[in-house]
Structure 1
């Protein structure tokens, strides 16, 4: 795995993030990863190269990726690039879900691409504060949700399970307890969760724990303390999960030569 380019700015809040850089590259061809999120990728000019689902990389200008698509390779060819990522538990994801193409990227039409580029052109990558990043993210989601469609609605029992996973550390969660919370058999819960959320319960549990760990970084705690508080068994377990959900390990994510993390307070 390699990340290239000058410092990349990543703004994080409420299970969403906005990533911007003057150039960007992520190579996971030998270890692909999947995210429980909808992801918008936009080249500010020209095109970028994207490899997904083990297929040969293709050139895109603006694309919307669905939940859990296999991500292998991204390079912006040394040009400015933006990623807007809406996790499956976010309100932004519920709005974007009706516009996704399951298992395949949705190539955005030229008019929408140009609208997004117009929004991005107002801000040089790396000069935003977090609130401005949140507003830019919201404007990009608004642009993608045109014409309006009803947002995704989830089954109440699935929402209770998601809330339980949010409340507890990873090591205090069990499929048996979650089945009891939903008052469903384990097999029925697994099927419903996959249909309503787009990922397995286990993957969602790991994603929430990893997201909690990322949020704890802003407090300045050691990664050992963060890993234990989020419910990971040890540092190796935390490292594997962060690689799985963010496409890179914590050492890379927190390297100030590569990434600058900005958290909403």
Structure 2
């Protein structure tokens, strides 16, 4: 079986749960045969039978593997594996132990029994939708299973940085102006950049790209065209949105928004919520 013979990389359908700090994709079968180097760390966990992955030039059969950001993935063949694919932006503070765990390595292999509790939660999810709180909880369990440590409690964020973060959530990507945003919250641009990176865990521009992706994902679940939604989110055009999405996740957005095969579930209940694994 190869990607060319399938109507979609997940012909039996997939469900994608997303929140600001990560993404979970569930698919009974998943076949990806294109080279990607996503910016997220990715955990693939089989709930039924092992899958094959080619990573950094090495092909392995496994129940669970964590691949570091920017490491080349050439192929994933997970036929009837009932695979859970977690995307973790490990620069965020809540993932610091996971970042240390994968540091200096391209990938890590795990035994399935290390994720027994996680798999028990996920197995029913291939036939019924999970609640958002359950998704956040199982993502937390997956991280803690890999690190052997509790995810640290969230640290207080400077009110000015929190205000800036919320502005970024609402500002189209092409309208983000760090100097103006800094003035709006009463800081210099240099101080704003430093505090934001220290407290949020990523740069302002990188956060803005994430925020634009979330806005686009929400829009793509409607009847609007991909181009309309991409431009509203602040991308220059559809190609810009495609490039950013593939860079983040290694998957073309046209596959994600194909409603014949894909169900998208946001894991926040109110616009002002900020779900994270440490919250």
Query: TM class by shorter-chain length?
Result: 0.7 to 0.9
TM-score by length of 2: 0.71
Contact 1:94–1:151 (Cα < 8 Å) also in 2: no
Q: 1:262 to 1:155 in 2, by over 3 A?
A: closer
Summarize the Cα distance change of 1:153–1:95 in structure 2 as closer, same or farther, 3 Å threshold. farther
Work out which of the residue numbers 28, 34, 46 in structure 2 matches 1:43: 46
SS of residue paired to 1:233: coil
RMSD of aligned alpha carbons: 3.9
The alpha-carbon deviation at position 104 of structure 1 amounts to 1.8
Report how many aligned residue pairs link the two structures. 257
How far residue 67 of structure 1 moved from its aligned partner, in angstroms, is 3.2
1:70 counterpart residue number: 72
Which of 11, 18, 22 is matched with 1:12 structurally? 18
- Counterpart for residue 127 of structure 1: 128
Partner of 1:207: 210
Q: Distance in 1 between matches of 2:107 and 2:15?
A: 24
Q: 1:78 to 1:219 in 2, by over 3 A?
A: closer
Structure 2 segments unaligned to the other structure (5+ residues) = 4-8, 270-279
* CA 1:136–1:151: 2 relative to 1, 3 Å: closer
Q: 1:75 to 1:193 in 2, by over 3 A?
A: farther
Task: Check the 8 A contact 2:67/2:107 in 1, yes or no.
Answer: yes
Match of 2:82 among 80, 83, 104: 80
Deviation at 1:211, TM superposition (A): 2.5
Cα distance, 1:82 vs. partner? 0.7
d(CA) in 1 for partners of 2:68 and 2:155? 17
Name 1:255's counterpart in structure 2. 258
TM-score for both structures, normalised by structure 1 = 0.74
Structure 1 residues 163-188: Cα deviation after superposition (integer angstroms, max 9, x where no partner)? 664453211225666898885769xx
Cα contact 2:71–2:106 (8 A) shared by 1 = yes
Of the structure 1 ranges 220-229 and 200-209, higher mean CA displacement relative to structure 2 is found in: 200-209
CA distance in 1, matches of 2:153, 2:103: 15
